[in-house]
Structure 1
Amino acid sequence: MNPLDATRNQVLQQIAEACQHAGRDVQDVSLLAVSKTQPSTALAAMYAAGQRAFGENYLQEALDKIEALADLDIEWHFIGHVQRNKTKHLADKFDWVHGVDRLIIAERLSNQREATQAPLNICLQVNIDSQDTKDGCQPHEVADLVAQISQLPHLCLRGLMVIPAPNNTPAFRDAKALFDQVKAQHAQPQHWDTLSMGMSGDLEAAVAAGSTMLRIGTALFGARDYSK
C-alpha cells in the first residue's frame, strides 16, 4: 500500500470539512503539494496517490525533480522568491509562478516564455501584513501591477499569493477583500480566479476566508529534513 495515500486522504478530508463549515463547495479549493526538500521518490508516490500539482521553492532542486519525473503529468508550481537571474528557467519549465512582486520580473517571464508554450500562470505575491522579513508587493501597489502585467503576452495573471505571519488570520480576510476588489475593478473575471493562501497549520482559517489554493507540505509529507 502507498503510505502517502492515507496522508493525502486525511488532508483532503480536512479540506472538505473546512469547506462544509464555511459553506463553500470543495471543488472551489485545490490542493498544492509543497514538496521542497522531498526526494523525487516521494513525489512519485504522492503522484501515485492521485496528486498532480506540486510546489517547489528552490530552483535547482526543482529542476532536478522535473527532469527525474519527466514521464509524469505533473503541474509544476514555483512558490519561492523569484530572482531576476532565474526567470529563464522558470519561464521554460514551470506551469505556475506564485512569487511575482515586481513588473520587471513579470516582463522577463513573459519575454522568456516561448510562444509555442501555454501562457505561464502568474500569482502576485502580496506582503499582506507588511512583514519586514517577507517578500511581496504592498497592497496599494496591486492595482497598478495588475493593469500592467495583464497587458503582457505569454502570461495569464490568475490572482494573489500571500503568506501572513503565523496566527494572523485577519490577514486572510484582508487578502480576500483585496482579491475581490481587483476582480471587480481591474481583472478579467474568467482569469482572476486564484487566491493562494493557507498552509498545513492554518488551512481551516484560510478556507473560511476564501482561499482557492492551499499550499500543504508537512501534513502531506511529514516534517522536512533541511540537513540534506
Structure 2
Amino acid sequence: MIKTNLQNIHQKITMTALRCGRDPKEITLLAVSKKKTVREIEQAVSVGQNFFAENYVQEGISKIKLLSDVKLVWHFIGSLQSNKSRLVAKYFDWCHTVNSLHLAHRLNFQRSGMPNPLNVLIQINISNEEQKSGILLKELPNLAQAISVLPCLILRGIMAMPILHHSNERQLVAYHKMAEVFQQLKDTYPSVDTLSLGTSSDIDSAIIVGSTMVRVGTAIFGTRG
C-alpha cells in the first residue's frame, strides 16, 4: 500500500506541476511519519523516499537512532518548546517551526560543534489563528534578518499550516500571500529556497502557488491509529 500511495502522490505532484508550468523536480515530498512504525518507514525508504518529518521530539529521535544506518534527511515539524530545542539541534537536519528569536538563538548555540548547520524555516501564522503557532507576517523581516547572521543555522525559507476550514478560494488567497512573501525573502537572502506549504488535503493548491515542499502523511501511510 505504501509503495502504491507514494507512486500515486508523485504522479499527482508531477501532473499538477506540469499543468501550472512548473518543473516537478522543484518540489520535495516530505513523508510525515508521526505515529508510524520503523517498519512502515522502511517500506517507504525501499521505494526511494528519503525525506521524513516528525512532530514529536522523542518519537523522532527514537526512529532516527533505529534507522541510523540509512542515509535519510529528518525534518522536525512540530511545535518546539525551548526545553526540547537541544535535542532537535542535535538529531534533526531541519526545523520547520522557528517562531522566535529566543528559539533561534538556542538552536544556534546548541548546534555549535556539529559538522553541518541546522536548516531552519520560519513558521508563519498566515490566518492569525490563536490556537496555531507561528509569527505574524509583519514580524518576518526582523526575525529573518536576525537568523541570517547566526553561524550554526541556515535560513532556508518559511512554513505555514493549512487553514482546513476555509474555502478553496480563501485558502488560495492566503497561500498566494505566502508565495509573495517567499519570493521577497528569496530576493533578499541567497540561502532561501524553500516554501513548505501543503499537506495530504491540499497538495494541488500548494503546488499551484509555488510550494517547494509538501508535507504528506495520511496519503502515504494511511490514517494514524
* TMscore range, shorter length: over 0.9
Which residue identity does 2:102 align to in structure 1?
I
Shift of 1:147: 0.6
Which residue identity does 1:143 align to in structure 2?
P
After superposition, the C-alpha distances for 1:169-225 in whole angstroms (9 at most, x for unaligned) are 2211110011112222x32x2x10000000011000100000000000011001111
Taking only the aligned residue pairs, the percentage that are identical comes to: 40
Match of residue 170 from structure 1: 173
Match of residue 139 from structure 2: 141
TM-score computed with the length of structure 1 as normaliser: 0.94
Q: Which of 12, 15, 20 is the aligned partner of 1:14? A: 12
Q: How many residues align?
A: 220
Tell me, in whole angstroms, the C-alpha distance in 1 between the residues paired with 2:114 and 2:86.
15
Which residue identity does 2:184 align to in structure 1?
Q
Tell me, in whole angstroms, the C-alpha distance in 2 between the residues paired with 1:210 and 1:139.
18
Q: Which of 43, 53, 56 is the aligned partner of 2:54? A: 56
- Which structure 2 residues correspond to residues 57-136 of structure 1 after superposition, within 5 A? 57-136=55-134
Match of residue 182 from structure 1: 185
Contact 2:162/2:199, CA 8 A, preserved across alignment: no
Which residue identity does 1:33 align to in structure 2?
A
Shift of 1:138: 0.5
Contact 1:31/1:53, CA 8 A, preserved across alignment: yes
Residue range with higher mean Cα deviation, 60-69 or 23-32: 60-69
Match of residue 208 from structure 1: 208
Which residue identity does 2:197 align to in structure 1?
M
Which residue identity does 2:100 align to in structure 1?
R
Shift of 1:85: 0.2
SS of equivalent residue, structure 1 residue 98: strand
Shift of 1:84: 0.3
Shift of 1:115: 2.7
Contact 1:160/1:179, CA 8 A, preserved across alignment: yes
Which residue identity does 2:64 align to in structure 1?
I
Tell me, in whole angstroms, the C-alpha distance in 2 between the residues paired with 1:79 and 1:113.
17
Q: Which of 148, 154, 157 is the aligned partner of 2:155? A: 157
Which residue identity does 1:178 align to in structure 2?
V
After superposition, the C-alpha distances for 1:26-75 in whole angstroms (9 at most, x for unaligned) are 01011000000001111111111110000000111111111111111110
Which residue identity does 1:217 align to in structure 2?
G
TM-score computed with the length of structure 2 as normaliser: 0.95
Match of residue 32 from structure 1: 30
Tell me, in whole angstroms, the C-alpha distance in 2 between the residues paired with 1:195 and 1:52.
19
Contact 2:85/2:103, CA 8 A, preserved across alignment: yes
> Runs of 5+ in structure 2 lacking a partner?
none
After superposition, the C-alpha distances for 1:139-165 in whole angstroms (9 at most, x for unaligned) are 000000011111111110000000131
